[in-house]
């Protein structure tokens, strides 16, 4: 470097260093506009624009140099537009090298030099026409001495057509005729038509074109006259006429290689290439379109790997003589950077290295410039050094801000890069302030403190108030303080942390908050449940999380690893305890369940619980009839799903119905599961069978399978059995009734089925009497005209059809019907001291029990009793001595009686029998009533006449169940129940007992409340748990004791604020006010309060008067507040539910009351005044007096009615409860039917000695009272009878209400 350059460099550095020292803000210039056209050809008298655009802060200014001299751009010829140089009306002297410079106070940048040169093309030097006369078949070349042209152009050959209207035509190149790269035209062999005589008198012309000028020149004409000589057509071997030996190609460009051979016929040229290591190269293509051989090849986007030897081989297709030539291809390149060169923005005191390594062939020369001034290794000392392609700065200062240029060049080109070196000097600041964090204890947390500053700030961390340096084994400060890491965090780490950055220019800090939360966990509640379908399933999810994150806690349930969507799985839900509840489980619910809980910080997953839901099996399918015979059929099927419970058996069902209506299927054979899914089932002759199959497991039986597609038809045979159950009936006197069980249609075995019934008097010598019964469904026959009751007959019933009869059945003995007993019990009396509110004991003399007097089989006695004033309404109590007569299965050699019992519909009561007295009792008497009673003698079917009648009166008794017990109001901490008096009067009610307890699970004991006011029939139960079911029982109490308990289930509501009450009226006097309200402003109420308070805010705006309103036994909601002083009051009602921490309150809208000021009331929803004057108070008092007088009169009337024995008429009570006594669809019990004085009402059950026949059929006798449970009889054979009301004979509709007792 010469001394002038050194001085310029020193001045430039000092200039920009002084500016840089004054401020570290801003940015040196950086040239952005670049072009690949470093040589630019221009046309004279036209404008040329050379680009130059730069960035920088402040905005750079520009200047240009031409041939290293500053160019004056203030004139009209050279101007600048935003840095671009514009040359107007170019002229010959504009040729030269142009370079752009951009500068600001931080440095100077410049662009790569651009060479500008005027485009030119010269004319050919000679216009002489050359004549050549080659022999046909010989090689020929025509040279072209092309003149000078810029930019350089390659000539080509053409010809001018005879007509001047046609443009110059090109000579097309092919394998025989072609140009070399110097412009010489070669003919591999000459043809006669190469003379162009077929076109006209035409010459070959050499043409040179300059695209920049848009023009061409031509010259050097040649006239070709081919000569035909002896041997012109003889083959000639290939000979190389033109090619290159050493070719240099530039990396990234396209290169053509050509070999021109002569020969006849035209040689075929092929190519082969290998690299320097002998490896084949095949990236080239023949330039002739569609050809695989040819004299010219092309290589595109050349790379170093294309270097090698390219051999062209020419072969004569006739003589097969070959010639070849090798071209050595070397690849060079223009310079390129080894790596991307980036601007350097560094901080004070940083060390900087700028690497300008460049590659190229040949190796580029690196030149350095600082702010456009050339520098070399001798230009630097001290902190700066230059060595080859590396420029180094140690501990930079703001004075080092500058623009550094790297220029790399070789013979193929040059590259230039402006590198901005910007040195910052500033106090610390935060690129991003650290953020507050919430983490879970036990995890690792990091705080990033991204600061900037020049020099680089020193970072320190502090914690707490007052500040103290962060320290501890779990605290790590990393990356020179930029990161604080706390490992295995603990709750105590929750604190404030401060990041403080400082350098020589100042200090800055940022504070963050760390919140450490307890981890979320789920208690191990793993269960393995096996339930039946439809059972409710509960799987717990006991989640605990930090109390501060409860509001963010989200729990979801998974089944088999997939989230449960409760919108689609509507039978599942998550309750308030986060447990999963499956209301009605299904088999498809079987799976693995787990809950997942997250609060946004961490999550926990429970252990997996398994659920297996068992259900009845699915129906079998593919039921098939394998075979069908007269008595058997073989059926097969395929088992369905067992629904998680092993199938224990299969049952085959069959139907042999003949009609086309609904078929009845009956169970056939049962098969245990296994490998066999088929079995035989018994069938009947003359039937058409179809089959179903069911599967059974421990849960139950499946539905019937689909019916078998085929039918099984069996042929007809005579019946193979006779009817069973052959017997008789004693209910009809003077009749022999023979009964049997009808045979089902599938046992008729053929058409024409009927029964043959045979009978004769036992011991008689007369023959059998036979009757045919054609109706197969008939089950009895009556033979009238029997003079003697209870006579003995021998009978049988035989089955038959058109094909024959069944085997002869055994004969049986039966009795004809019983008569009415004629004997009457004597001396019927009441046992002294045995009467109470519902029972009494009697005795009487025994009777003669012979068949003649009883006219049948003696059973015992019947005590009948009625209210003396209502003789048609009777009750009875049977005192049975003997077990029921066993009419069926009489032995032919053994006379009756039989000992088989039969059911009886009456209450039976224990009796005592001595040698001279019979005792009996009843517990079905009416309390507080005048009673009449008698006794009757019973046989199997009838009762005899009444004995002597006795009369007595019953005292008061224990009450029955209260009526209409209902829950009328539900809140979340209370329930209100109401009831009515018992339907049956047993004496004056003196109070009620109320008991309540949790339904399930049973917790604690029942709570008891005693109500001593008989008029209170409403009770509010308070301080209950929310969402809990309670069983509430109410028992009426009389002087005789407790009655029967009646209960109801009530469930409290979910916990919530109570509904706001609604004030509906306020009336005032001079010193008091009466407030009325509704429990809820909503109708119906959603969650009414349990307790209510009336509150007055006084004239001094501080006193609040509270009036507690208990609201226990009244639907009225009002309270009277007295002792109010004159003035303005704000009034409202408060509803309260719950107690203690669970207490919730809601206020009504407030009203305004003016006491002593015209007693004005202002409602909250209107501005009108509801004015109540003093006179209105007088009217109110009068009205209250009238109501009190009416209540007194009503009370006197009630007392008078009670003294006349009509204190509690059930008949009237039924009407009060909307059961009209004339209702046509209800049947009365006899004891509550009104007397026969009312023509619209039905009659009670008549006594057995009445002339009226009961409504029931012949079978509705004492025989029908069969009871299979022998334990209900006493040791002597008696049982406790029941009474029942019967309809009047002939009635089609009942005429009175059925009243439960």
pLDDT tens across 519-537, in order?
999 998 888 999 999 999 9
pLDDT, tens digit, for every residue of 583-630? Answer: 999 999 999 999 999 999 999 999 999 999 999 999 999 999 999 988
Q: Does residue 863 have a pLDDT over 50?
A: yes
**What's the pLDDT at 1251?**
38
The pLDDT of residue 34: 66
Least confident of 275-279, 848-852, 1154-1158: 1154-1158
Q: What is the mean pLDDT of the chain?
A: 83
pLDDT value at residue 265: 93
Give the residue-averaged pLDDT of 21-44: 74
With a CB cutoff of 8 Å and minimum separation 6, the contacts of 1133 are 1061, 1063, 1075, 1077, 1092, 1093, 1094, 1095, 1147, 1148
Tokens 């006369």 belong to residue: 133
Compute the average pLDDT of residues 999-1003: 66
Rounded CA separation 256/956 (Å):
136
Examine the pLDDT at 284 and tell me if it is beyond 60. yes
pLDDT band with cut points at 50, 70 and 90 for residue 1113: low
Q: Which of 151-165, 592-606, 952-966 shows the lowest per-residue confidence on average (mean pLDDT)?
A: 151-165
Residue 1008 has pLDDT above 50, yes or no: yes
The span from the CA of 249 to the CA of 307, in Å, is: 9
Q: What local confidence, expressed as pLDDT, does residue 369 receive? A: 93
Residue closest to 1032 by CA, chosen among 1058, 1011, 1051: 1051
Strand, helix or coil for residue 852: helix
Q: Compute the residue count for the chain.
A: 1301
The whole-angstrom separation of Cα 1213 and Cα 1200 is 18
Q: In this structure, what DSSP letter does residue 105 have?
A: T
pLDDT of residue 891: 57
Q: According to the model, what pLDDT value does residue 318 have?
A: 86
> Contact, 757 vs 809, CB < 8 A?
no
3-state secondary structure of 55: strand
pLDDT number for residue 837: 83
Share of the chain above pLDDT 90, in %: 50
The answer to whether 620 and 702 are in contact (CB under 8 A) is: yes
Answer yes or no: are the C-beta atoms of 894 and 1271 closer than 8 Å. Answer: no
Task: Check whether 1219 has a pLDDT greater than 70.
Answer: no
Cis bond before residue 705 (omega within 30° of 0): no
SS3 for 1216-1230, per residue? HCCCCCCCCCCCCCH
- Is residue 659 over pLDDT 80? no
Least confident of 49-53, 162-166, 826-830: 162-166
Q: What's the rounded Cα separation, in Å, for the pair 257 and 309?
A: 11
294 close to 288: Cβ distance less than 8 angstroms: yes
What phi and psi, each to the nearest 5 degrees, are found at residue 74? -90, -5
Q: Which residues on neighbouring strands pair with residue 800, listed in sequence order?
A: 754, 805
∠ CA 86-87-90, rounded to 5°: 155
Q: Which residue has the tokens 């006209």?
A: 200
Q: Residue range 83-109: average pLDDT?
A: 91
- Rounded to whole angstroms, how far apart are CA atoms 83 and 51? 7
Percent of all residues in the chain with a pLDDT value above 70, rounded to a whole number: 84
pLDDT at 1128: 87
Q: How large is the average pLDDT for residues 843-859? A: 91
Cα–Cα distance measured from residue 405 to residue 386, given in angstroms and rounded to the nearest whole number: 13
> What's the angle, vertex CA 122, arms to CA 121 and CA 123, rounded to 5?
130
**Strand runs labelled E in 1148-1258:** 1151-1155, 1160-1162, 1169-1171
Instruction: Give the chain's end-to-end CA distance (angstroms, integer).
Output: 133
Confidence check: pLDDT of 429 > 50: yes
In the numeric block, which tokens belong to residue 737? 């009734």
Element (H, E) at 14: helix 3-22
Check residue 503 and give left, alpha or beta (phi > 0: left; psi -120 to 50: alpha): beta
Identify the pLDDT of residue 36. Answer: 59
DSSP per-residue string spanning 397-416: -GGG-EEEEEEEEETTEEEE
What digits encode the pLDDT tens for the residues 164-220? 556 778 888 899 999 999 999 999 999 998 888 777 778 899 999 998 888 888 887
Is the pLDDT reported for residue 504 higher than 80?
Answer: yes
pLDDT band at 733 (very low <50, low <70, confident <90, very high): confident
Cβ pair 1297, 1285 in contact under 8 A: no
Token pair belonging to 636: 């097969």
Beta-carbon-side half-sphere exposure of residue 488 (alpha carbons within 13 Å): 3
**pLDDT band for position 575 (cuts 50, 70, 90):** very high
Alpha carbon distance 1082, 1056 (integer Å): 15
Residue 94, SS3 per DSSP: helix
Q: Which residues, at least 6 apart from 238, have a Cβ–Cβ distance to it below 8 Å?
A: 261, 262, 263, 267, 314, 315, 316, 321, 322, 323
Burial classification of residue 1212, based on how many CB atoms lie within 10 Å of its CB (0-12 exposed, 13-18 middle, 19 or more buried): exposed
For residue 927, what are the contacts with CB-CB under 8 A and spacing of at least 6? Answer: 837, 838, 954, 955, 956, 957, 985, 986, 987, 1040
| Model confidence at 684: pLDDT above 90 | no
Res 1267: pLDDT? 39
Q: What is the pLDDT of residues 1013-1031, one digit of tens each?
A: 998 999 999 889 888 999 9
Structure tokens given for 59: 């905005």
**H/E element, 1177:** helix 1174-1203
At residue 1279, does pLDDT exceed 70? no
Pairing of strands 246-250, 322-337: parallel
Taking residues 143-149, report their average pLDDT.
90
Give 1288's pLDDT tier (boundaries 50, 70, 90). Answer: very low
**Mean pLDDT of all residues in 934-949:** 93
Cα-based distances in Å from 669 to 635, 653, 961: 10, 8, 51
């Amino acid at each position: 470097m010469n001394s002038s350059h050194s001085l310029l460099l020193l001045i430039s550095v000092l200039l920009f260093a002084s500016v840089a020292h004054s401020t570290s803000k801003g940015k040196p210039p950086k040239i952005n506009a670049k072009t690949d056209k470093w040589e630019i050809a221009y046309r004279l008298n036209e404008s040329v624009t050379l680009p130059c655009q730069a960035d920088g802060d402040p905005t750079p200014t520009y200047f240009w140099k031409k041939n290293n001299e500053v160019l004056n751009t203030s004139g009209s010829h050279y101007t600048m537009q935003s840095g671009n140089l514009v040359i107007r009306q170019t002229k010959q002297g504009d040729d030269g090298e142009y370079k752009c410079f951009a500068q600001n106070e931080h440095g100077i940048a410049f662009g790569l030099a651009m060479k500008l040169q005027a485009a030119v093309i010269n004319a050919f030097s000679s216009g002489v026409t050359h004549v050549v006369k080659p022999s046909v078949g010989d090689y020929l070349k025509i040279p072209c001495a092309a003149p000078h042209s810029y930019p350089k152009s390659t000539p080509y050959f053409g010809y001018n057509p005879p007509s001047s209207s046609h443009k110059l035509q090109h000579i097309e190149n092919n394998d025989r005729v072609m140009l070399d790269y110097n412009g010489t035209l070669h003919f591999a062999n000459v043809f006669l038509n190469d003379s162009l005589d077929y076109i006209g008198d035409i010459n070959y012309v050499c043409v040179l074109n300059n695209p920049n000028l848009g023009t061409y020149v031509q010259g050097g004409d040649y006239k070709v006259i081919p000569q035909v000589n002896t041997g012109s057509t003889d083959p000639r071997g290939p000979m190389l006429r033109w090619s290159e030996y050493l070719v240099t190609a530039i990396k990234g460009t396209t290169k053509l290689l050509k070999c021109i051979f002569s020969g006849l016929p035209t040689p075929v040229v092929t190519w082969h290439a290998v690299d320097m290591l002998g490896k084949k190269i095949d990236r080239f293509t023949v330039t002739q379109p569609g050809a695989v051989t040819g004299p010219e090849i092309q290589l595109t986007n050349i790379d170093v790997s294309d270097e090698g030897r390219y051999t062209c081989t020419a072969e004569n297709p006739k003589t097969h003589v070959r010639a070849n030539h090798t071209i050595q291809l070397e690849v060079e390149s223009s310079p390129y950077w080894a790596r991307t060169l980036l601007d350097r923005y560094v901080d004070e005191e940083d060390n900087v290295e700028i690497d300008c390594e460049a590659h190229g062939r040949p190796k580029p020369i690196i030149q350095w410039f600082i702010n456009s001034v050339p520098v070399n290794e001798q230009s630097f000392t001290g902190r700066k050094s230059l060595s080859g392609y590396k420029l180094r700065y140690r501990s930079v200062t703001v004075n080092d801000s500058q623009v550094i240029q790297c220029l790399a060049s070789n013979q193929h080109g040059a590259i230039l890069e402006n590198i901005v070196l910007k040195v910052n000097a500033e106090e610390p600041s935060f690129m991003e302030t650290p953020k507050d964090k919430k983490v879970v204890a036990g995890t690792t947390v990091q705080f990033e403190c991204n600061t900037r500053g020049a020099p680089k700030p020193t970072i320190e961390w502090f914690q707490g108030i007052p500040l103290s340096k962060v320290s501890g084994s779990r605290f790590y400060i990393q990356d020179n303080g930029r990161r604080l890491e706390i490992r295995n965090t603990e709750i105590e780490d929750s604190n404030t942390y401060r990041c403080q950055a400082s350098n020589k220019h100042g200090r800055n800090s940022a504070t963050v908050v760390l919140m450490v939360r307890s981890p979320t966990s789920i208690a191990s509640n793993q269960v393995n449940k096996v339930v039946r379908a439809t059972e409710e399933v509960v799987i717990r999810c006991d989640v605990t999380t930090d109390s501060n994150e409860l509001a963010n806690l989200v729990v979801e349930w998974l089944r088999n690893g997939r989230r449960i969507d409760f919108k689609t799985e509507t039978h599942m839900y998550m309750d308030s305890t986060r447990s999963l509840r499956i209301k009605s489980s299904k088999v498809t619910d079987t799976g693995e369940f787990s809950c997942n809980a997250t609060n946004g910080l961490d999550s926990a997953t429970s252990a997996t619980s398994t659920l297996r839901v068992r259900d009845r099996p699915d129906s079998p399918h593919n039921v098939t009839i394998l075979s069908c015979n007269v008595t058997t059929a073989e059926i097969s099927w395929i088992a369905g799903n067992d629904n998680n419970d092993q199938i224990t058996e299969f049952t085959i069902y069959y139907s042999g119905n003949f009609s086309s209506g609904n078929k009845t299927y009956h169970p056939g054979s049962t098969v245990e599961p296994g490998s066999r899914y088929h079995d035989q089932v018994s069938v009947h002759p003359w039937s058409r069978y179809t089959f179903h199959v069911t599967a059974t497991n421990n849960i139950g039986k499946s539905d019937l399978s689909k019916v078998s597609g085929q039918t099984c038809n069996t042929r007809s045979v005579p019946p193979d059995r006779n009817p069973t159950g052959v017997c008789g009936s004693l209910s009809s006197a003077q009749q022999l009734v023979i009964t049997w069980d009808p045979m089902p249609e599938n046992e008729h075995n053929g058409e024409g089925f009927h029964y043959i019934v045979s009978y004769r008097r036992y011991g008689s010598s007369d023959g059998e009497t036979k009757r045919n019964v054609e109706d197969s469904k008939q089950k009895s026959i009556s033979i009238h005209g029997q003079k003697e009751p209870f006579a003995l007959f021998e009978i049988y019933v035989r089955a038959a059809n058109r094909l024959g009869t069944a085997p002869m059945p055994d004969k049986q003995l039966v009795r004809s019907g019983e008569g009415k007993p004629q004997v009457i019990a004597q001396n019927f009396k009441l046992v002294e001291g045995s009467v109470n509110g519902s029972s009494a004991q009697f005795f009487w003399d025994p009777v003669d029990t012979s068949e003649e007097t009883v006219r049948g089989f003696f059973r015992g006695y019947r005590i009948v009793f009625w209210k003396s004033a209502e003789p048609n309404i009777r009750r009875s109590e049977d005192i049975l001595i003997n077990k029921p007569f066993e009419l069926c299965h009489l032995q032919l050699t053994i006379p009756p009686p039989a000992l088989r019992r039969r059911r009886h519909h009456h209450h039976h009561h224990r009796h005592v029998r001595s040698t001279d007295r019979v005792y009996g009792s009843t517990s079905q008497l009416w309390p507080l009533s005048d009673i009449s009673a008698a006794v009757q003698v019973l046989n199997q079917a009838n009762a005899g006449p009444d004995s002597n009648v006795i009369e007595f009166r019953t005292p008061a008794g224990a009450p029955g169940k209260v009526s209409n017990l209902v829950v009328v109001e539900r809140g979340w901490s209370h329930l209100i129940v109401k009831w009515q008096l018992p339907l049956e009067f047993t004496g004056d009610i003196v109070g009620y007992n109320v008991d309540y307890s949790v339904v399930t699970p049973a917790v604690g004991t029942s709570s008891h409340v005693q109500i001593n006011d008989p008029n209170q029939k409403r009770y509010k139960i308070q301080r209950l748990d929310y969402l809990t079911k309670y069983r509430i029982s109410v028992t009426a109490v009389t002087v005789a004791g407790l009655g029967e308990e009646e209960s109801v289930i009530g469930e409290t509501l979910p916990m919530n604020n109570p509904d706001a009450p609604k004030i509906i009226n306020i009336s005032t006097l001079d010193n008091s006010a009466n407030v009325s309200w509704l429990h809820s402003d909503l109708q119906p109420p959603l969650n009414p309060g349990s307790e209510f308070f009336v509150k007055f805010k006084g004239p001094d705006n501080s006193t609040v008067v509270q009036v507690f309103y208990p609201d226990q036994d009244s639907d009225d909601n009002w309270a009277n507040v007295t002792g109010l002083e004159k003035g303005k009051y704000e009034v409202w009602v408060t509803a309260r539910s719950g107690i203690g921490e669970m207490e919730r309150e809601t206020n009504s809208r407030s009203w305004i009351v003016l006491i002593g000021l015209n007693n004005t009331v202002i409602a909250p929803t209107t501005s009108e005044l509801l004015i109540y004057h003093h006179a209105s108070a007088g009217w109110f008092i009068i009205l209250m007096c009238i109501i009190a007088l009416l209540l007194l009169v009503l009370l006197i009337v009630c007392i008078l009615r009670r003294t006349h024995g009509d204190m509690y008429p059930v008949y009237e009570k039924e009407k009060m409860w909307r059961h009209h006594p004339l209702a046509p669809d209800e049947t009365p019990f006899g004891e509550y039917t009104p007397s026969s004085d009312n023509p619209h009402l039905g009659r009670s059950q008549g006594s057995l000695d009445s002339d009226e026949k009961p409504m029931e059929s012949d079978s509705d006798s004492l025989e029908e009272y069969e009871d299979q449970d022998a334990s209900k009889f006493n040791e002597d054979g008696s049982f406790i009878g029941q009474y029942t009301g019967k309809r009047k004979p002939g009635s089609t509709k009942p005429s009175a209400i059925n009243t439960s007792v």
